[in-house]
């Protein structure tokens, strides 16, 4: 069974996504980053690109990233500020 982690994606005016994910791929300044459950703590600056979430149940969600933003991974929880 795949392990999940909590993802929160916020823009300045709304909550874009809040829930569990099995994997996350985000565009950062140093290239695309892949995140799975149990990832080491990390803070990264995001760049433009596609954010891809693989959700429990086999669904995939793709979100267009904003040109600037930040990612924080801490204690099996990922927060994206776009």
pLDDT at 80 over 60: yes
Contact 35, 11 (CB under 8 A): no
Contact 65, 47 (CB under 8 A): yes
Domain that holds residue 64: 5-81
pLDDT of residue 65: 74
Percent of the chain with pLDDT over 70: 99
pLDDT, tens only, 33-57:
999 999 999 999 999 999 999 999 9
Confidence of residue 1 (pLDDT cuts 50, 70, 90): low
Does pTM top 0.85 for this prediction?
Answer: yes
The residue behind tokens 């703590």 is 41
CATH number for the domain including 36? 2.60.15.10
Number of domains in the chain: 1
């Amino acid at each position: 069974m795949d392990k999940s982690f909590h993802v929160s994606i916020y823009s300045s005016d709304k909550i874009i996504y809040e829930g569990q994910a099995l994997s996350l791929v985000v565009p950062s300044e140093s290239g695309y980053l892949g995140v799975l459950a149990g990832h080491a703590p990390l803070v990264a600056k995001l760049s433009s690109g596609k954010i891809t979430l693989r959700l429990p149940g086999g669904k995939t969600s793709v979100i267009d990233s904003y040109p600037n933003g930040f990612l924080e991974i801490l204690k099996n929880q990922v927060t994206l500020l776009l």
